[in-house]
Amino acid sequence: MTRISLTFGLGLATALAAGWFAFPYALYVRRAEPLDFRHKAHAEKSGVSQCTDCHALRDDGSFAGIPQADVCAPCHNESMGKRNWLVNFRQPANVWFSHAIHMRRAKLDCATCHGPYGESAQPVAYQQDRISGYSRQVMDMNTCEKCHRERKVEVGCLGCHK
């Protein structure tokens, strides 16, 4: 009897270890950004206070995302060139997320979804799911739905998907 419970427990333990620790490590591949950009340093040195100083909306309301080199130009005299950033928060192609609606209409501040990303002293490592290809930081649908439920903003599938 004891022997049975022992072997059973052994199996249980192995599985738990594998599932909780080995698996997450194996699932994500870590990829380096082209440049280790530090938000905190920029906030302090350049006196940039608002996220929107660099991450702006275009006239048509669409979000400009990661700024082009010309935004860096005023401070950095050496050309920054064009870089292929790995965007931690980039949604998959079938998602339509309007920053304009969430910022201008819902009056959310960036940290609500992005957390203290703006104060990060070190660049956040980009971890990509080997199976789905998603970034580990990307907001998942449950989080969207939760917030929408709390604020009683009902939208259909195509309200957020395209």
Partner 1 sequence: MELTRRDLLTWGGGATAGLLLTPLPWKVLDDTSKWTQNWPWIPQPSRAPIEVKRSFCTLCPNGCDLRVRVASGTPVGVSPGPQSALCPLAFGAHQLNWHPGRLRQVSHLGKAASWNDALAAFRKAAVEGPIAVVDAYPRRAGSSVMENFARRQGGTYCIILSAEERSLAPYAAWSGAPVTSLGYDFEHARTILSFGAPLLDGWGAPGRVPRLWSTGALKLIQVEPSLSRTANAAWRWIQVPSGSEAALAAGLARVLLEEHISPARAPLPPTTVAEAAAQTGIAEETIRELARTLAAHGPAVAIAADGDPAVAVLNFAVGSIGARGGIVRRREGGPSYLTADNLNGHFRAVLIDATVPWDFAPQADAEVFRFAAWNGGGSRAHWLLPAPGFLEELTDVPTAPGSAVDTYAIAANLSTPPADVRSPAGFLAQVDSALPSVEDIIHARCRELFRTHTGALQGEETVPVSRFAAPERLEEALRTGSVWVAGPPRSGGLRCRFEQWPQPTAPRATADWTATWVPPVLPPLAVKLYRESSLREPPAGRSI
Partner 2 sequence: MSARYGMVIDLDRCTGCGACMVACAAENNVPALPPKATDRTGITPMLVHKVSNGQEGAEFREAFIPVTCMQCEHETPCVAVCPQQAVQVDPATGIVMQMPQRCLGCRYCMTACPYHARYFNWWDPAWPPGMEKTLNPGVSVRMRGVVEKCNGCHARLHAAQEKAAAAGNREIDPRDYRPACAEACATGAIQFGNLADESDPVSQAAHSTNAFRLLERLGTEPKIFYTSDRPWVRQLAEPHPARGDKEVKHG
Which residues are at the interface with partner 2 (CB under 8 A)?
Answer: 57, 59-62, 93-94, 96, 98, 100-101, 104-105, 154-159, 161-162
Whose tokens are 């333990």? That residue is 13
Residue type at 120?
S
* Closer to partner 1 by Cβ: residue 28 or 46: 28
* Closer to partner 1 by Cβ: residue 10 or 73: 10
Closest CB 94 distance from partner 2, rounded Å:
4
Straight-line distance from the first to the last Cα atom of the chain, in angstroms, rounded to the nearest whole number: 58
Partner interacting with residue 34 (select from partner 1, partner 2, none; CB below 5-8 Å by kind): none
Q: Which residues in 127-156 contact partner 1 (CB under 8 A)?
A: 129, 131-134
> How far, in Å, CA of 125 to CA of 37, rounded?
11
Q: Of all residues in the chain, what percent are helix, strand and coil, respectively (each to 5)? A: 45, 10, 50
* Closer to partner 2 by Cβ: residue 76 or 105: 105
How far CA 41 is from CA of 25, 95, 145, in Å, comes to 30, 32, 34
Alpha carbons within 13 A on the beta-carbon side of 125 = 7
- Interaction between residue 4 and partner 1 (CB under 8 A): yes
> How far, in Å, CA of 31 to CA of 26, rounded?
14
* Closer to partner 1 by Cβ: residue 77 or 94: 94
Closest CB 39 distance from partner 2, rounded Å:
25
Interface positions with partner 1 (CB under 8 A): 3-4, 7-16, 18-20, 23-24, 27, 58, 60, 62, 64, 92-94, 129, 131-134
